Amino acid sequence: MTVFGNQAVRDIETVLHPYTNLATHRDTGPLMLERGQGVFVYDTTGKDYIEGMAGLWCLSLGHGNEELIEAATSQMRRLSFAHLFNGKSHDPAVELAETLKGLVPVPTSKVFFCNSGSEANDTQVKLVRYMNNALGRPEKKKIVARDKAYHGVTVASASLTGLAANHADFDLPIPGILRTACPHYYRGAQEGESEDDFATRLAAELESLIEAEGPETVAAFIAEPVMGAGGVVVPPASYFPKIQAVCDKYDLYVISDEVICGFGRTGRMFGCETLGFRPDSISVAKALSSAYIPIAAVTIPEAMYEAMLVESRKIGTFGHGLTYSGHPVASAVALKTLEIYARERIVEKVAAKASQFQAHLRRLADHPLVGNARGLGLVGGIEMVADKATKQGFDPKKGVGARCVAFAEQEGLIVRALANDTVSLCPPLIISPEEIDELFARLDRALARTQEWLRKG
């Protein structure tokens, strides 16, 4: 029987943990973290860990950034809270909206603020419906999302998400969500099919889906540029241009979920720039404030805004909003975060470090346990398999990915296990070349221990 310290016992008896096996947690207990600095966090014993996941794909500037701390405290002293309901406003929200309008690579009329990526994508669903009602197209409401997609956990955004655990026993997905294939070439390609042929087939499947449903009923297509929780899936180079052509042909509103990819993760400011497509709207969160304070945003194109004006005149209000939309403290921290990105040339530095990071990933492709290593910029994943030649995965009951993550934690590296025993990597954007080497050295040791554990049965 495991004996826990007082802090762990208090956690077990009081906190309901997200994305956790609640039964197992009672036996294993939590990892209690106490402080952080840069790319490192420290537990209550003083042991250091490299934050190999930037928290949850979000802590772009690392821990302890004094400028962000000062931005928050200064704004708290000036205006601790103000809302945007009923026409009220404040300068941090206005300035942040102006900054985002100038930064995003899509024509934007307005910015709607919320608090998380889930809320942002939930808002996208509502706004697509709202717009099409205003345009006299009440039947054009269905939204296409992809297998293995991750778009959040609210009722609507979890329905967009294409992962079974997010639907099971929650009575999801809701009606009106269509599913198309995941662009995972390693797992989805047919024998002898090139990456371009694979992309062509997926675009044709999307077109067939739209035709079967009736183009007049299909309203939007939502995608992460690089899929995160679904396994760090990087699509073939021609995938998005081919998908874009289908969306354009059938007048689908294209949404880029940049919650993970936005603000430099892929080596460009936004993932849609890296992957080559032109969305109508973008969802952002996470790195918008380097995760120091919750904030998210949805960009609104002029055509949608004009439709919203029509509905607002008819109904008498725009009946959507959140208490903390555009919170002044969160807005101030986000503004300072964007200032640091620009001043410190963070995106350019990510592009420069990406080759080193991706070279380490490619090296791991030769490891006996690794069937596929993939990534872009400073995000990557290694998919572990039982047989490299046949791509045969491990029995999910073995929990090989979870075991590797546990060994990594023991080696002082925090990573995450995803579908198909994929171990994901997403360090803070400020990680140094030396720290990249150390991250992969710790991961090498975790893989070696996993291999030995499997050898012993």
Query: CA distances (Å), 430 to each of 59, 259, 403, in order?
Result: 10, 18, 28
Could you tell me the strand order of the sheet in which 40-43 lies? 33-37, 40-43, 48-51, 413-414
Rg (CA), the chain: 22
Q: Using N-to-C axis directions, what is the helix angle for 400-410 and 433-455, rounded to 10°?
A: 130
At 12 the pLDDT is 86
What average pLDDT does this structure show over 286-313? 97
The mean per-residue pLDDT over the stretch 386-404 comes to 95
pLDDT band, residue 330 (cuts 50/70/90): very high
Whether 2 shows a pLDDT value over 80: the answer reads: no
Binning pLDDT at 50, 70 and 90, where does residue 15 land?
Answer: confident
End-to-end CA distance of the chain: 23
CA pseudo-torsion sign 65, 265, 257, 299: positive
Average pLDDT score, the chain: 96
Indicate the pLDDT class of residue 19, thresholds 50, 70 and 90.
Answer: confident
Q: Quick check: 23 pLDDT over 80?
A: yes
DSSP 189-256: PPTT--HHHHHHHHHHHHHHHHHHH-GGGEEEEEE-SSBSTTT-BPPPTTHHHHHHHHHHHTTPEEEE
The reported pLDDT for the residue numbered 16 is 86
Domains and CATH numbers, the chain: 31-64+345-455 (3.90.1150.10), 68-343 (3.40.640.10)
Residue 24: per-residue pLDDT: 86
The CA–CA distances, whole Å, from 123 to 137, 337, 349 equal 19, 24, 33
How does pLDDT run across 82-121, given as a tens digit for each residue? 999 999 999 999 999 999 999 999 999 999 999 999 999 9
pLDDT in tens, 246-271: 999 999 999 999 999 999 999 999 99
Within 13 Å and on the Cβ side, how many CA atoms surround 80?
1
On the CB side of 354, CA atoms within 13 Å amount to 19
**Token digits of residue 284:** 């952002």
How far is it, in rounded angstroms, from Cα 283 to Cα 296? Answer: 7
d(CA 441, CA 393): 25
Half-sphere exposure of 133 (CA within 13 A, CB side): 13
| SS3 of residue 312 by DSSP | helix
pLDDT for res 3: 61
pLDDT at 11: 87
Would you say 285 and 120 are in contact if contact means Cβ atoms under 8 Å apart?
yes
Rounded CA separation 336/329 (Å): 11
| Residue owning tokens 């197209």 | 137
Q: How far apart are CA 116 and CA 118, in angstroms?
A: 5
Question: Using H for helix, E for strand and C for coil, what is the string for 341-390?
Answer: HHHCCHHHHHHHHHHHHHHHHHHHCCCCCEEEEEEECCEEEEEECCECCC
- Ordered DSSP codes for 315-338: HSS-----TTTT-HHHHHHHHHHH
Burial class of residue 86, CB neighbours in 10 A (0-12, 13-18, 19+): exposed
Q: Is the pLDDT of residue 302 over 90?
A: yes
How does pLDDT run across 177-228, given as a tens digit for each residue? 999 999 999 999 999 999 999 999 999 999 999 999 999 999 999 999 999 9
Q: 3-state class of 442 per DSSP?
A: helix
Mean pLDDT of 8-36: 87
Confidence of residue 21 (pLDDT cuts 50, 70, 90): confident
Q: What mean pLDDT comes out for the span 417-430?
A: 96
Of 62, 98, 38, the closest CA to residue 331 belongs to 98
Phi, psi of 223 (to 5 degrees): -155, 145
Contacts of 112 (CB under 8 A, 6+ apart): 123, 127, 297, 298, 300, 325
Q: What is the pLDDT of residue 18?
A: 83
Q: What is the spatial distance between Cα 332 and Cα 249, in angstroms, rounded to a whole number?
A: 41
Residue linked to tokens 């002293």: 77
